Structure formats: C-alpha cells, structure tokens
Amino acid sequence: MTKEELKEDLWRHFFKNPRKNYNPYIYKLLDFPEYIIYDKEIMDSYKGKWREFFKNDNPIYLEIGSGSGNFAQGMAMRYPERNHIGLELRFKRLVLSATKVKRDNSTNALFLRRRGEEILSFVAENEVDGIYVNFPDPWEENEKNRVVQENFFKILDVILKKGGKFFFKTDHDKYYQDVLDLVASLDGYEVIYHTSDLHNSEKAEDNIKTEFEQLFLCKHNKNINYIEILKTK
Ligand SMILES: C[S@@+](CC[C@H](N)C(=O)[O-])C[C@H]1O[C@@H](n2cnc3c(N)ncnc32)[C@H](O)[C@@H]1O
C-alpha cells in the first residue's frame, strides 16, 4: 500500500466509523513505520517472534504506558543488548516517542498502540525478561481500572520468564502500598527492593526519569515510590 492508501484506511484501526476530523498526530504515525505499529493484526502476527522483528536474539523488555518516550529512549541507549517495546494509547505521545528514538538511530526500540490488558494477544509464553510500569493512573475513584492489579499478575504468569522482573514507579503512595500488599499475597512473586524515596536511594543514580517523574519532581517536589519484583516460579 502507498502512504496515501494507508492514510485513507487509517481510521479503521482506531474507530468504528469514519469521522469528519482526526487528531493530526494520527497521520504522523505513518512517518515512523520502523518505530510504531498501530495495526493489531501485525502485532498479533509477531506473537512469539518479536526477536525476529528486531533481527536479533536479545531479551525483550516491555513498558506499559510509555508516555512520550523519555524512559524508552534512555533504556534503548543504555542497554543496546536489549529490545525495548513501549505500549501507549495516545497518538501524540507515540509520535514524540518515535521522534526521540529515531533521532538516536536506535534499532532496539519500538512502540505499539495497544492496551496493556491485551498483551496476551501479541506476546507469547515466557517471551519477556522484564516489564516496566511507570506512573500509571491511580484511578482513585475507581481502583478496579488500575493497570497493576491481580489480573495483571495473571498476564505476568504467562509472558514473564522465571527470574524475570517487574519494575514499578509511582508518585501515588497508596498505589505503592497496594502493590506491595498485593505481591505479598501472591505465590510466585517476591519484592526484592522497594523504597518510598527513589531519588534519595541507592537506585537514584541509575534511574532514568520519565516525563511525569520530571513533572512531579520539579513542580510538586513529590517523593517517588519504586518497587522491583522478581518472578520466582
Ligand atoms: C500517567 S501517564 C505516564 C506516562 C509515562 N509512563 C511517564 O511516566 O511519563 C500514563 C500513560 O499510560 C497510558 N495508558 C493508560 N492506560 C493504558 C493502558 N491500559 N495500556 C497502555 N497504556 C495506557 C496513557 O496514555 C498515558 O500516556
């Protein structure tokens, strides 16, 4: 398909019916075919084969809600021997993310427009070595909508390798405590590190800041909570 044909067809991936006006960033997705996949069928066709996409045998790391891509860009640069896949829903954030990794000529970063809840459709058993969730919405009024809850660990049961890790950062003190409590109640997962003050901890030096993290630090001087969880079974 030509770019013009793709453009005509693009709305079908996101909406049931065509609309009069579209978010201009929708069309910009087409400028980054090597860094953004928005077609669910294509994503699903890579289930169990993401290493083929990256043309290497390196471990796969997933980031759910990758925002505007600062963290993905930093990880891709720091760990060239890893493949980093960010899942994000917002068009502008996807385009900003792709712009950043393209500027670096990274070949180990990719962004998918897909919900974290749908991971099992496009990631196979034991395909992932690590998962990052940074500053997810705490859904104060409706906690059952949170990304990290019991069902999330059922997904990790499948896709995360034994010995793989889940890394969680949040400004939200209750979400932090709730995840600690949840993991304590689960078989097969162990908290191996946690701090309610990441920026004054031994992990501060290695920490790659996300956009939301910068905001919380600069504007609100908020403590940042951080947890590392090991999959033991
Ligand atoms: C509060 S922002 C944090 C963004 C980034 N991690 C950061 O720290 O700057 C949460 C992001 O998750 C995305 N998001 C929300 N629900 C999601 C879901 N179910 N699957 C994937 N991404 C999601 C949102 O579009 C948003 O960009």
User: Which residues face 116 on adjacent strands?
Assistant: none
CB-facing half-sphere around the CA of 154: CA atoms within 13 A: 7
Which residue's CA is the nearest one to ligand 1's atom 16?
A: 65
Please give the distance, rounded to the nearest whole angstrom, from the Cα atom of residue 2 to the centre of ligand 1. Answer: 31
Residue pair 111/53 in contact by the 8 Å Cβ criterion? no
For a ligand 1 pocket test, name from 137, 145, 215 the mutation site with the most ligand atoms within 8 angstroms of its C-beta: 137
Which residue's CA is the nearest one to ligand 1's atom 4?
A: 67
CATH number given to 131-233: 3.40.50.150
Nearest ligand 1 atom to alpha carbon 88: 22
- Catalytic site includes residue 137: yes
H-run or E-run covering 213: helix 211-215
Residue 1's pLDDT is 81
86 lines ligand 1 (CB under 6 A): no
Q: What is the pLDDT along the chain (233 residues), one digit of tens a residue?
A: 888 888 888 999 999 999 888 999 999 999 999 999 999 999 999 999 999 999 999 999 999 999 999 999 999 999 999 999 999 999 999 999 999 999 999 999 999 999 999 999 999 999 999 999 999 999 999 999 999 999 999 999 999 999 999 999 999 999 999 999 999 999 999 999 999 999 999 999 999 999 999 998 888 888 999 999 999 99
Q: What three-state secondary structure class fits 87?
A: strand
Phi-psi region of 9 (alpha: psi -120 to 50; beta: other; left: phi over 0): alpha
CATH superfamily of 1-61+79-124: Vaccinia Virus protein VP39 (3.40.50.150)
84 lines ligand 1 (CB under 6 A): no
Same fold, 1-61+79-124 and 131-233: yes
Please give the distance, rounded to the nearest whole angstrom, from the Cα atom of residue 88 to the centre of ligand 1. Answer: 6
Tell me, what amino acid is at 120?
L
Domain locations along the chain: 1-61+79-124, 131-233
pLDDT, tens only, 88-117: 999 999 999 999 999 999 999 999 999 999
Please give the distance, rounded to the nearest whole angstrom, from the Cα atom of residue 186 to the centre of ligand 1. Answer: 25
Please give the distance, rounded to the nearest whole angstrom, from the Cα atom of residue 67 to the centre of ligand 1. Answer: 5
